[in-house]
Structure 1
Amino acid sequence: MLAYGGGSIKKTGLYDTVKEILDAGDFEVVELSGIAPNPRIESVVEGVALCKHHQIDVILAVGGGSVIDCSKAIAAGVYYPGEDLWEMVKTSDHLQKALPLVDILTLSATGSEFDGGGVISNLKTKEKLGGLFTYPTASICDPTYTFSVSSYQSASGAADIMSHIMEGYFSKTKDSDLSDELAQGVLKTVIKNLPIVLKEPDNYSARANLMACASVACSGIPEYGKASTGWPCHAMEHELSAYYDITHGVGLAILTPSWMRYILQKDPSVTWRFVRFAKEVWNLEDQDETKIAYAGIDALEHFFKEAGIPMRLSELGIDDIYFEEMARHANRNGRLSNAFVALNEQDIVEIFKNCL
């Protein structure tokens, strides 16, 4: 089964290239197209039905993280013993078997080409949930396939990469030196190469560096030895995407500086981590630790703005009508009570409001 999104691979010619290779190999091909950003459970249901009906042997996902995530859920869903595939998504950590999955990556962002997880949305229930489905058997990562990615998507993808790092970097663990150095290295690599990509979309070196960063950032490697954080910005952004279907990386870019300022004010004892962030990632210097901590946050926000990312929820047509409901979902089962700085539902509402 050949799975892809809205048709950009046809515009770039990648679809024709893939089809020629498959035809030359005498493969029987069934197509699943139209997989959306924030992939829907409906696409998972459709894909599983196609795989079962046509007795598919392998899934080939051509696209970014959304296509790969959806394909992972389909691969596992073929062997799911129940009928309710949304229930499968909610309980996916116990899945035992999946179809082989190969992907051809076209967007540097989620790192789905290098991990077993996926995120699926159910717009009817206003839920966006991550789960562990299956690892790709092989991932084909050719930076030239990302040359045609728009500036907006390139920037939002970079924000996603950086968020995957920062969610683990802002941890209570102080002595995991290797993890911190890896994390800082990925962040600095993105900071160096994104502006180049925005000016020179076909710059191979810059695209290759972003692609490598995407794979490593969500692999778990930069979090080795770190205390769990609950990934608060992802928890909050999944609510924004579930309710408003916004671009994931944009939501993260808006939320992250607001979250940082909020927790720094709530618990100044974490200033040391923000000082390290400012010094090691942004090369800032100041004798006053509070000033440099906030200066690092300002530098991050400025970087996102310069990349053309909207930095207020109001720019996306979002108001505060669902904030309390979203906060309850984000902190279900006390998920964020053990975060870098513990958050309750009222804290989350305030962070959302500060983003307006």
Structure 2
Amino acid sequence: MDKYVKEKNIQSIFLVCGDSLQYLKINDYISDLSKRIKIVKFSDFKPNPLYESVVEGVRKYRESGCDFLMAVGGGSAIDVAKCIKLYAKLPGDGKNGSWLQSDGEVNNTELLVIPTTAGTGSEATRYAVVYYGGNKQSITSDTIIPDAVLFDPRVLDSLPDYQKKSTVMDALCHAVESFWSVNSTNDSKEYSRTAIELIIENIDEFVVGDNSKNSIMQKAAFIAGKAINITQTTAGHAMCYGLTSKYGISHGHAAALCVRELWPWMLKASEEACIDKRGNKYLKETFIELAEAFGENDLMDGCMKFQNIVDRLELMHLVGNKEDIEELSRNVNPVRLSNNPVKLNEDDITNLYKEIVR
């Protein structure tokens, strides 16, 4: 990183980071760097960051006068940094959600990210997520794709077991959903296939603490991120956000539960409810290719392999009631459903939630 700082002639850094930075080995380097150049830290945000946190970050960034942005952390830290870059040049103070109505302004300040999990893929995408008024806000702009990514495998050494499991499943769900998305391309499928194969081959060792697999999982998450940067996610992610906010489980856990039930349902419903313009034949071939990426030849065997991984990781189903299911069904984002190759109606969504929330 020293070489990068010198080449870019960086004089001051606005660092967006979580509180966990103090426990990571890379913090030693950042502390040493702060003796040589100005570093202003911003960590006033939580997982599933609020829009108000971004507004505060923009205010402090403007005051700092820093000429470079850096994010160290998981998806939340990276998303906050992306939004700070997007909104920093806009007029006003951003209060009352005013910046959410804008596409942002071009900001030539470069953004370097150092992911501390292997799952979100945010380091590779033009997307960010914040919450305003209790509702998820999806931010999209090509200008917020990070300019550079630094991977340090050591940051995963101390990642808690649950976070390891849920983040790697987030990456796997990204790859799976991108593969069957109506927006898929040959390039996105190749990214997805590569990510799936890397995860399948290494997940068991990774989740039990084999740190030699850290760099492989970082690579897989990054490649899966490149896939969804092309295609966006589908119904699995559309359905998972409500689970995260209502039950307090991690995003990857929620996505895994949704894809676990969605995949077999799609195999059964695709013949009659296919909405991919490339047609039923194409979609069936896609499901076959997806099974093969999982090392299986049969359509259902690929799906069952995914289910077995979720079960083996003990990412358990949730306990709820009829009112919970009704609320979850009402709040599914229809835009993400439009990316799904098989049409879901309200009854379909409700029935899938009944399998997830038992």
Name the TM-score, length of structure 2 as normaliser: 0.82
Give the secondary structure class of the aligned counterpart of 1:311.
coil
| Distance apart, 1:72 and its partner CA | 0.7
CA distance 1:240–1:96, shift in 2 (3 Å): farther
Alignment of 1:24-173 (within 5 A): 25-27=36-38, 29-84=39-94, 87=97, 90-91=100-101, 93=103, 95-97=105-107, 99-122=109-132, 124-132=133-141, 134-171=144-181
Alignment of 1:214-293 (within 5 A): 214-220=221-227, 231-268=234-271, 270-278=283-291, 280-285=292-297, 292-293=298-299
Give the secondary structure class of the aligned counterpart of 2:114.
strand
Task: Output the CA distance in 1 between the equivalents of 2:342 and 2:189.
Answer: 18
14, 28, 51: which one pairs with 1:16? Answer: 28
Aligned to 1:345: 346
Q: CA offsets, 1:22-65, max 9 Å, x none?
A: 21x232x3221253222222321221121122323222211122
CA distance 1:72–1:85, shift in 2 (3 Å): farther
| Distance apart, 1:303 and its partner CA | 0.9
| Distance apart, 1:102 and its partner CA | 1.8
| Distance apart, 1:341 and its partner CA | 0.2
Give the secondary structure class of the aligned counterpart of 2:305.
helix
CA distance 1:237–1:98, shift in 2 (3 Å): farther
1:185 aligns with 2:194: yes
Task: Output the CA distance in 1 between the equivalents of 2:322 and 2:140.
Answer: 28
**Cα pair 2:337 2:344 within 8 Å, conserved:** yes
CA distance 1:167–1:83, shift in 2 (3 Å): same
Give the secondary structure class of the aligned counterpart of 2:113.
strand
Task: Output the CA distance in 2 between the equivalents of 1:303 and 1:129.
Answer: 29
- AA aligned opposite 1:157: T
Give the secondary structure class of the aligned counterpart of 1:3.
strand
For structure 1, which segment, 320-329 or 191-200, has the greater mean C-alpha deviation from structure 2 after superposition?
320-329
Task: Output the CA distance in 2 between the equivalents of 1:170 and 1:135.
Answer: 23
- AA aligned opposite 2:318: L
CA distance 1:350–1:84, shift in 2 (3 Å): farther
Task: Output the CA distance in 1 between the equivalents of 2:137 and 2:325.
Answer: 15
Q: CA offsets, 1:199-240, max 9 Å, x none?
A: 33422xx111111111111113895xxxx6761111111233
Aligned to 1:305: 311
Give the aligned length. 333
For structure 1, which segment, 33-42 or 339-348, has the greater mean C-alpha deviation from structure 2 after superposition?
33-42
| Distance apart, 1:179 and its partner CA | 4.5
Aligned CA RMSD, in angstroms, stands at 2.8
Task: Output the CA distance in 2 between the equivalents of 1:219 and 1:129.
Answer: 17
Q: CA offsets, 1:168-212, max 9 Å, x none?
A: 2114689x6565444222201101112111233422xx1111111
Uncovered stretches (5+) of structure 1, i.e. residues with no partner: 286-291
**Cα pair 1:76 1:99 within 8 Å, conserved:** no
**Cα pair 1:61 1:104 within 8 Å, conserved:** yes
296, 299, 305: which one pairs with 2:302? Answer: 296
**Cα pair 1:128 1:239 within 8 Å, conserved:** no
Uncovered stretches (5+) of structure 2, i.e. residues with no partner: 1-13, 272-279
Alignment of 1:309-324 (within 5 A): 310-314=315-319, 318-324=320-326
Q: CA offsets, 1:248-298, max 9 Å, x none?
A: 1111111001111222222345554433333x133334xxxxxx3233222
**Cα pair 2:176 2:290 within 8 Å, conserved:** no
